[in-house]
Amino acid sequence: MQEDTNFDGKPDVWEDYDEIEALVKRAKDLDFDGTPDFTDVVGNAEKDT
């Protein structure tokens, strides 16, 4: 998914999801030049229930 949070016509947030639609990676363009400046990879923690 891509999102344009400052409405300049260029995406500045990118999110990747796995097959169960859980967030696995988010990248942000902090200076709004159209390229990611920060990427956060979300761990895949499994819980026993």
Instruction: Report mean pLDDT in 10-residue bins for the chain, 49 residues.
Output: 95 96 97 95 62
Which pLDDT does position 46 carry in this prediction? Answer: 53
- Whether 16 contacts 28, CB under 8 Å: no
> What pLDDT score was predicted for residue 15?
97
Closest CA to 3 of 43, 23, 18, 44: 23
Rounded to two decimals, the pTM is 0.78
What pLDDT was estimated at residue 47? 46
